[in-house]
Structure 1
Amino acid sequence: MLDQLLTSVRAGRSQVLVVRGEAGVGKSALLEHLVRSASGFRVARAAGHEYEMELAYAGLHPLCAPLLDLRERLPGPQRDAVAAAFGLSAAPAPDRFVVGLGVLGLLSAVAEERPLLWVVDDAQWLDKTSALTLAFVARRLLAEPVGLVFAVREPSNLAEVTGLPELVVGGLGDDDARALLDSALPGRLDELVRDRIVAESGGNPLALLELPRGLTPAELAGGFGVLDATPLANRIEQSFLRRLDSLPDDTRRLLLTAAAEPVGDVALLWRAAARLGLGADAAAPAQSAGLVDLRGRVRFRHPLVRSAIYGTATLPERERVHHALAEATDPDVDPDRRAWHRAHATTMPDEDIATELELSAGRAARRGGLAAAAAFLERAAELTPDPARRGRRALAAARAKVDSGAPDAADKLLAVAEMCPLDDLQRARLARLRAQIAFALRRGSDSPPLLLDAADRLAPLDGDAAREAYLEALGAAIFAGRLNDRVGPAEVATAARDAPRARQPPRPIDLLLDGLTTRYTDGYVAGVAPLRRALTAFGPDAGGDHDELMRWFWLPWLVAGDLWDDETWYGLATRAVRLCRDAGALVVLPLALGYRAVVHLHAGEFEPAASLVDESDAITEATGNAPAKYASLLLAVWRGVETESLAALNWGLGNATARGEGRGIGGYGYTSAVLYNGLGRYGDALAGARSACEYDDLGILGFALVELIEAAARSGAHEEAAAALRRLEERTGAAGTDWALGVQARSTALLSDGAAAESCYREAIDRLAHSRIAVHLARAHLVYGEWLRRENRRVDAREQLRTAHDMFTRTRAEAFAERARRELLATGGTARRRTVDTRDALTPQEGQIARLAREGLSNPEIGAQLFISPRTVQYHLGKVFAKLEITSRGQLNRLPLSGLDPT
């Protein structure tokens, strides 16, 4: 398999492989074979180390350091992110996924010259940031001559490589195990002893070589040993330790020093050894025993040797070698590693070391190493003698733990901070952080009261922070929705009325808080004007803080939908996607892509919506974030794919209920109503719409009322439909947009007769034609045509129904198209089913790349937008040209956009 991997890479096809197996099974030997066989390749190697797991980019640095001179070839954001991550600039902390894209660009650049092979041993001990970055890169490789091979111990908790191609390395068969054992021992071995060793080893080669070393001659001869039940890795370590016992004290101390310093810098090791009074002769016994190789770099025979040496040393012994290593490390060249060694050289409080660690935390945070910053701060808090400073540092460490995605660890640090003397502001910040952790972990009804309490505490101390906390509490209450029986949006809004006044000029989030407060205390109509001011503040003409928009865009986007403001709805989603792309904010980009997909969908652009959904799914798979599934569900129900829709609905409803996401219940009720109205199953649609309309979910209730009115009108529930229409008119009348008044007119027409109905149908079509909401325009043509048929005006009905059928067919809204087709047949008209030859159709990604190329973007620009390498862009463009029977990018401009749609 490894030889085939090299063959594929030489042919220009990227290959990724995870070599998985227990300690000692031979993974490292296979990697050595791979490296020896990689003639003509540029090879870089790295290994994870237990003691570096908290140091950001420690595992990635040896792979990337030789390539950093190529960073000038990268687009600006990627170049800056790579420079910041590896300490080459003092730029703000980069998003780790922009670093990942920069690393992908470096790989692509170097692979233009010759094939590249990256080999990572002991990947289970990589620092979190390196592991995430490498996994991201591994999932984005396609058309580069690059091989990326990880070796991972089994069992392993390295979730980042889950789903990548694997080579599982098992133990040797019995015959091979016996042959290896015989080759390693002089003389004959008792058959019973040999069978026992083979059985104990499970075919593990290192165990076969090491376990016999712990047996006495009598045991080897007669098999009198007792079977050891300890884990195999421990027994191998014990065999190494028995060999260490025979070594001189100075040699063992030198090995411990080497084990405590995972960089493998021989010069550093000897500087530290000199401080410990160790001479060059201390190394000879260990090298003769085959335990360590000090030529060029420090390399232990096996990682289990390192862990055995370090794990069995006493605490005072470890402290002495860490102190020597700290003294031997240049504070100007590597201040962070020096601080880390100093921190492990003592268990006593030490303010100097704590201060040094705090400075290291700041540098780590600026490089984007949030996990490293949290680790430095956590250790700094442990070593801080002054209780007040300890509390401040523990609180800062907890904040860093939350930012790095470790809320459980943050909770423990908050408990430490609580035991320290904190001032009122610090205690208020602690309460807010604890509430944010609760929301991150559970997203249930316990979060809004905690966030509200934190906001109340902050109010007299920090006005800006208090207003942010009130908005967080309001967002959490909106999220919890009907499942929140303690503090709902109205209760939070009532409390927020007493929040400190906003600074002048107010921030967009200040206007948003004021608008939502008005909406939930004085009602929908009263909230329209202040919420419009807030939406304007989030608009492109207002400028504003980009980070603030990326953090909060989900809430004003929901508000825009709630106000039927399709222009702002479109603008916010488009701007959020662009900002998230430019910043490489892959944590929130999938959500922005989902919102933009929903906007495309309502504009009748189902294929671009599907492309964005696919891109969102690809990013969440690469990053390991929770998938954003609402857009894909909405696309499925508008397409009318019942089986797919029901599976997603059932899963989503159960998932939302389990998480305490009450708003999700309203969303799934609404989407089921859309599905069944399309299928003409109005009773089922009515049930879904009723569920959605039981609670005022922001951005859902108005849409659900439209579905309820149609379903109730078609089911004969006219009083229920009329009541729903009155609720709808209050909202749409206050909103006053063409979208709002268009769906109001259509809903009114469904409950009207004669000339009044026809006037409303025509108004609906006219208003919706002036909006971006093409799917509801098509539905207005549909229900108008259905009404005309019932009025026995068949010719007029055919015109409306054929228009509806054509619109639904173009967008692939199959259920609504079929409903229009049946009605058209009932008028005596005909409708052709759309057929598509999909043999040479573009895939969603190919269609997206073709559209971007048509707009004039270069391959690097397209790659930066889609988080793939320029070489992969060129690979896809080659397939696009072949399918479209063209030969250049310029010819794309002569094709209609519809010709670039995937199937």
Structure 2
Amino acid sequence: MRVLGGRPEGWNAPTLVGRCAERRVLDELVGAVRDAGESRALVVHGENGVGKTALVEYLAGHARGCRVARAVGSESEMELAFAGLHQLCAPMLDRLEVLPSPQRDALRVAFGVSPGPPPDRFLIGLAVLSLLSAVAERQPLICLIDDAQWLDHTSAQILAFVARRLGAESVGLVFAARVPGSDLAGLPELAVRGLPEAEARALLDSVLNGPIDQRVRDQIMAETRGNPLALLELPRGLTPAELAGGFGLPGAVPLAGSVEESFQRRVGSLPAPSRRLLLLAAADPTGDPALVWRAADRLGIGADAAAPAVDTGLVEFGTRIRFRHPLARSAAYRSAPARDRQDVHRALAEATDGELDPDRRAWHRAQAASGPDEEIAAELERSAGRARARGGPAAAAAFLKESATLTLDPVRRADRALTAAQAEIQAGGFDAAQDLLAVAESGPLGEFERARADLVRAWLAFAAGRGGEAPALMLAAAGLLEPVDAELARATYLDALGLALHAGRLAGPGGDVPTVARAAGAVASPRTPGAIDLLLEGLAANVNQGYAAGVPALRKALSAFASGMPPEQEVRWLSLAFAVALDLWDDERWDLLTGKYVRLARDLGALTELPYAVDSRTFLFLFTGDLPAASALVEEVRAATEAMGSRLVSFGALAVAAFRGVESEVAVADIEARGEGVGMTAVAWTRAVLANGLGQYDKALEAARQAAENPWQLAFLNWALVELVEAAARSGDMETAEDAYRRLNERTAASGTDWALGIDARANALLSEGATAELLYREAIAHLGKTRLRIDLARAHLLYGEWLRRERRRVDAREQLRTAHGMFDAMGVDAFAARARQELRATGEATRKRSPAARDEELTAQEAVIARLARDGLSNPEIGTRLFISAHTVQYHLRKVFAKLGITSRVQLDRVMPRDRPTFP
């Protein structure tokens, strides 16, 4: 018998019985990838032993003309980040050099090839997508991921990300799993069930070596329910007499249990050295025979122990060690006493090179530990640091959890558990974070550790969608930090205030904006305050003393953001900074800060921050009247949130739709459940805009009232008050209009920018009469004309024209209404354009709707943004990075763009798509 170098005699590749429908699905997938140049993803799922692996093998054997890449999830390797991904991608790394440098560097760091800061997991996902696409340029690629339920979490997330972003790359990505996990939710599925009765009987007959009693056959058929592995394995545990006469046949038991018991019986029948060798092989997830034999030597296991194990058909010893089925591995491992398992892990740790693979060595040492062990715990902690550098928080969390478990000293255990909990929150493991937080709080905590625990609890509440609870928890942490670390305390107070502003009226007890602002306002500022200190001071003063009191400090804070702050810190606070700029009616800073926010998120690879950054930039293009550019950014946000599985509601998308005159469906209940008061305000504001645009002033009044309820909603309160003044004045509710204008004037007067003064004059004009109103309208147009805010300027012309018509000055009215209509029509602000058109008709002037759509408007949303980015000089890989697709898919869409626009090259895009202002990010 040959033990090394191939499969043993009697070990046959899985043979499919039946499965015509399933094979047809797999054949179609191969055809689409190989012959049509398409990409496909598929999740093959079903219970243990139902034939998923056999179908995967069938696909591998019938993927003629394709390169086949494989990875297999391992239960014992689930905690080692990138283990599955490395299996799949390692043979392809010769194509690494063709990737864009940020993606190339991210993969090198992730696989431990080169040092560097922890890459964003979505950047790694883009890198893997680009790598698969590059490999598929040479030959269509089929990637097979078996036992996907046992992939390490990081690999599972990244491969699911890739599966969702496949386009025209000639790549097939097939997962086989017992139950599709949340990472794979939404991907096309192929459910594999038990064989039909006739096929099940045929498979059973194929493994029987003698006669079988009909009652025994019927019992086996009933117990296995057509499960192929069970049909193959259960008869092995029955003697010829039992098969022939049915004596001793057990009653029905759970399928997985009965099959595993069959494997356990075979393991138990082996000589002790062979059982130990099987246990050793089961404990090593790498399948590396050299490592296993080195460990076997330490345990005194000779090479002759392999033959009996191979004879059972449970395992093969070749260039890799492979078990017949995951349940066979499980049986070999779980049937062994705990002490034996510890011994083999200790041997594997000793056999593992501490220089080349220190983390796997640490993991084996941890499994070998019989109790708390500070040396091993410290080694795991060091491994966590290396894992974080490669794969970020998800990779670090597993080692930190194990480190905390092995720590005896209660203070150190609490510290490690808190660090692990923070990593779990960042990785999205909220339940695990809650458990680790409980572990930390079970020990003695000093002031600083209690503050850390409160911080963890606050971020856990926010990340888990309980935003209303977070501000009070963050405020408590800030108070504990104040006597210990003043700088960190101020940053935490600012976090608490930011969370309170985000939660708005949905903030829980003790976390409302006034409560947090009072506490924050009492904090002493440093002698030389930085941007964070000035933001905290200004926002607290804004709430505690009134809008005007906070303006000086906030303006200084925004100036400090322009320089001198480390990029990693700056990107963290820019979402708050640009909202402050909007609140101050500072469109110049708004442009500067949102542009920087997007650039930093891209440059740092902070892709989880990117949707928020791009969404913030969308509003700038919207208010400047460039709706095509705003729509292109909406598509970028959509691509990012779809790729990341984010729950972000794009307020920019809602606003663009509202100005276009389209009502959006929004799950307000979900926003409210997450405690996002800012979201409730944003939705109400967009509804007010839509209704004002359509001239439905009663609806606008109701929506604007809701939007203006919260007196401390950054940026959106300004816009809500603008809509409320207009809706109330047009509805004849002058008391509400005057109260809204008073609140608005408090803010515009303190700001004093041309934007603020123009808005103030326009709102005041709605409440005025005669020469005063006309003067105010002209003043509004003059101020707004100095800004880039073309929609607000067009609205001023519209309101002035409407007022002139009501004053029966039709000639003058037509001039203003023509200007307004022309601007709205050119910008695509359809609701307000229709309102201006109706007013023009009332003056006796006929108007026409906009001319038929230009050819560039016939593009899909994705094609439009690709065309725009190509026109602005971005390469295909750069465009792919923006939209979370491969460069090959970008080229596919560009060919369609050229055909629709009647052009033949990128250089012609400038002619058919004029450039935008401000700069497209």
TM-score, length-scaled by structure 1:
0.95
Measure the CA separation in 1 of the matches of 2:165 and 2:684: 36
Using the TM superposition, give the Cα deviation of residue 445 of structure 1 relative to its aligned residue in structure 2, in angstroms. Answer: 3.5
1:322-345 Cα distance to aligned partner (Å, 9 max, x none): 111111111111111010000000
Q: 1:295 to 1:396 in 2, by over 3 A?
A: same
Q: How many residues align?
A: 889
Superposed, which structure 2 residues align to 1:528-539 within 5 Å?
528-539=551-562
Structure 2 match to 1:887: 904
Contact 2:626 2:916 in 1 (8 A): no
Distance 1:111 1:835, change over 3 A: same
Is the CA contact 2:310–2:316 (under 8 Å) kept in the aligned structure 1?
yes
Give the 3-state SS of the residue equivalent to 2:391 in structure 1.
coil
Equivalent position to 1:452, from 475, 485, 490 = 475
Q: Report the counterpart of residue 429 of structure 2 in structure 1.
A: 406
Deviation at 1:77, TM superposition (A): 1.4
Which deviates the most, 199-208 or 210-219?
210-219
Number of the residue aligned with 2:793: 777
Q: Which residue of 2 aligns with 1:499?
A: 523
Q: How many Å separate the matches in 2 of 1:230 and 1:769?
A: 80
Select the residue among 831, 836, 860 that pairs with 2:847: 831
Give the match for residue 5 of structure 1. 29
Quote the offset at 1:130 in angstroms: 0.6
Query: Aligned match of 1:488 in 494, 507, 512?
Result: 512
1:694 pairs with 2:719: no
Question: Residue 625 of structure 2 corresponds to which residue in structure 1?
Answer: 604
**1:677 aligned to 692, 706, 723, which one?**
692
CA deviation string 1:492-534 (max 9, x = no partner) = 2221233243374x43222211211211111101111111111
Indicate yes or no: 2:166 matched with 1:141.
yes
Q: For residues 325-369 of structure 1, give each alpha carbon's deviation from its aligned partner in whole angstroms, at most 9, with x where no partner exists.
A: 111111111111010000000131212211211111111011124
Which of the numbers 871, 878, 881 marks the counterpart of 1:854?
Answer: 871
Question: 1: distance between equivalents of 2:323 and 2:251?
Answer: 26
Deviations 1:158-196 (A, max 9, x none): 211222222222221111111111111123322232233
For the aligned residue pairs, the C-alpha RMSD in angstroms reads 2.1
1:627 alignment partner, SS class: coil
State the alpha-carbon separation in 2 of the partners of residues 455 and 222 from structure 1.
Answer: 76
Q: Which position in structure 2 is the counterpart of 1:555?
A: 576
1:144-163 residue CA offsets vs partner (Å, 9 max, x unmatched): 2222211111x34x211222
Within the candidate set 164, 172, 186, 2:209 is matched to 186
Residues 1:546 and 2:546 are matched in the alignment: no
- Unaligned 5+ residue runs, structure 1? none
Tell me the amino acid that sits aligned with residue 884 of structure 2. F
Percent of aligned positions that are identical: 59
Structure 1 residue matching 2:49: 3-state secondary structure: coil
Q: How does 1:375-454 map to 2 (within 5 A)?
A: 375-454=398-477
Partner of 2:333: 310
1:131 aligns to what SS in structure 2?
helix
Match of 2:731 in 1: 715
- Aligned: 1:570 with 2:591: yes
- Equivalent position of 1:527 in the other structure: 550
Matched residue, 2:137 = 112
Counterpart of 1:23 (choices 20, 23, 48) is 48
Indicate the SS of the match to 1:88.
Answer: coil
SS of residue in 2 equivalent to 1:94: coil
- Give me the whole-angstrom Cα distance separating, in 1, the residues matched to 2:673 and 2:766: 37
Describe the SS at the equivalent of 2:43.
strand
Matched residue SS, 2:145: strand
Q: CA offset at residue 734 of structure 1? A: 0.9
Aligned to 1:296: 319
1:626 pairs with 2:641: no
Stretch deviating more after TM superposition (139-148 or 201-210): 139-148
Matched, 1:363 2:386: yes
Q: Calculate the TM-score normalised by the size of structure 2.
A: 0.93
1:151 match: secondary structure: strand
Distance 1:837 1:200 in 2: 65
Question: Is contact 1:466–1:500 with CA below 8 Å preserved after alignment?
Answer: no
Preserved contact between residue 459 and residue 500 of structure 1 (Cα < 8 Å): no
- Aligned pair in 2 of structure 1 residues 9, 635: CA closer, same or farther (>3 Å)? same
Closer, same or farther in 2 for the Cα pair 1:898/1:98, shift >3 Å? closer
CA contact (8 A) 1:443 1:476 kept: no
Q: Deviations over 1:677-709 (max 9, x none)?
A: 122121121112222222212222221111111
How far 1:389 moved relative to its partner?
2.3
Contact 1:443 1:480 in 2 (8 A): no
Asked if structure 2 preserves the Cα contact closer than 8 Å seen for 1:802 and 1:831, the reply is no
What amino acid is aligned across from residue 572 of structure 1 in structure 2? L
Equivalent residue for 2:601, pick from 576, 580, 592:
580
1:665 paired to 2:689: no
User: Does the CA contact (< 8 Å) of 2:901 and 2:912 recur in 1?
Assistant: no
Deviation at 1:235, TM superposition (A): 1.8
Is the CA contact 2:635–2:865 (under 8 Å) kept in the aligned structure 1? no
Preserved contact between residue 14 and residue 144 of structure 1 (Cα < 8 Å)? yes
Superposition map of 1:686-765 within 5 A: 686-696=701-711, 697-765=713-781
How far apart, in 1, do the equivalents of 2:301 and 2:348 lie? 13
2:615 matched residue in structure 1: 594
User: How big is the shift at 1:228?
Assistant: 4.3
In the alignment, what sits opposite 1:34?
Answer: 59
Q: What's 2:782 paired with?
A: 766
- The answer (yes or no) to whether the contact 2:629–2:916 under 8 Å persists in 1 is no
Please state whether the residue corresponding to 2:172 is helix, strand or coil.
Answer: strand
Contact 1:44 1:117 in 2 (8 A): yes
Q: Which AA in structure 2 matches 1:734?
A: A
1:90 is matched with which residue: 91, 115, 119? 115
Q: After TM superposition, where is structure 1 displaced by more than 6 Å over at least 4 residues in a row? A: none
1:442 CA displacement: 4.2
Determine the structure 2 residue equivalent to 1:74: 99
| Structure 1 residue identity aligned to 2:807 | E
Confirm or deny: 8 A CA contact 2:470 2:511 kept in the other structure: no
Q: Does the C-alpha gap of structure 1 residues 899 and 428 become closer, same or farther in structure 2, counting only changes over 3 Å?
A: closer
1:126 aligned to which of 151, 162, 165: 151
Q: Tell me the CA shift for residue 838 of structure 1.
A: 8.0
Q: Contact between 1:590 and 1:628, CA under 8 Å: does it hold in 2?
A: no
Tell me whether 1:656 sits opposite 2:671 in the alignment: yes
Note if 1:283 corresponds to 2:306. yes
Match among 799, 813, 820 for residue 836 of structure 2 = 820
Distance change (3 Å), C-alpha of 1:288 and 1:503: farther
Paired residue secondary structure (1:45): strand
CA contact (8 A) 2:72 2:151 kept: yes
Q: Which deviates more, 93-102 or 868-877?
A: 868-877
Task: Report the Cα offset of residue 69 of structure 1.
Answer: 3.3
How far did 1:85 drift?
0.5
Q: C-alpha separation between the residues in 2 aligned to 1:224 and 1:753?
A: 103
Deviation at 1:419, TM superposition (A): 3.2
Deviations 1:413-472 (A, max 9, x none): 222223334433233222222222223224343322221111111111111210111011
Matching residue within 881, 886, 896 for 1:864: 881
